[in-house]
A and B are shown apart, each in its own frame.
Chain A
């Protein structure tokens, strides 16, 4: 079982709303020890009453979070977090506006002692389409969107519902099955940014209530073991309203406890401690019916399949 610190990358081109997202996340009362690593320390703007201490490149907050500037050595900034007396549970890393997301995800996701949790790309409903066609940055902006696990669509309040629908349709056209989360005023729920609570046992406890009405969490304890291959295919068939899946299950093939982590369209299976309790948690923006349907899809992967493809096709068609 891994003890690496998970990193959520917040990418997006200039003006996409990353700083607002960061300011809100830092000020929120969410009960997690998060370290936020930012490029521009000067742009961080937090209510003074929340600040415990502040020095040249670190702000400590009363809610247990810290905000640090990255400086010119990303690895050193990560090492400094790992070396803290009490290391953070999660790291939110603000990527530079011109960073190729794939590259930064590889850089920090494989940095010794760390792992990639999610790549969230902020896109500004007002300007993203123009930017995506810009002569100088169009390729970069399209690449950022394409590589996102979750797209945080900001400033939708400024463009009105119809234009926001238009942008979403355009995004889906760029990235089939894109996971889009509307964050009109820059609020990114903690469960979306960092997933269900990380500690294995906490998964079976109450999942944090999402402050946002449209973010839903659905939990289920599958009665049987599940098949990895079946899960992998079920994940591919999930509706785009499911943004995250996390769970522990007994692998039917090996009989071992296994951790499933899925953010957006990307998933991985990891070995889990044998005494972990079985549970699956879904986080998304779908309706109750949609979310429950998604859960059913996942928990149906409960048989070893002789010919997985055809069995699977049969299952989803009935």
Chain B
């Protein structure tokens, strides 16, 4: 079947989608957007977290056909999504091609300098919250959504918002630091 939906602000179309296919599979295998990770395919790990009509969901548990006509934001579109939110203008989204070539490296792979990053992505780098990085995309999408809803989260709020995202490397402390940092920077900026 064919599925039409908006990905990172741009209208997209996926063809020959199998009826039982997940949104995650469509994003990764048909649209070339491997940012959303596939670790469990059963909703346990949160590494496939995307926004569906603004709401964080596990892309592995959404049937592709269910997203017809709806809006999806993936980690590849997060920088742009955050930028539009902060300046309040309806921009033009991120094209598939730009999404596919999106790269956190920029001109300096150590500092990420020269790349368009969302505040939460920058905070993850600055706080050293990334080790193997497999959990990072899902955490970024989940954390970004929490900061949008709740600009001054308590530690308990952060833990609750990220309770559906597993990380096997960091022990979570640096991730907590990163989210606290992003929240602090966000409130300074206001």
Partners in one complex: no
Residues of B within 8 A of A (CB): none
Residues of A within 8 A of B (CB): none
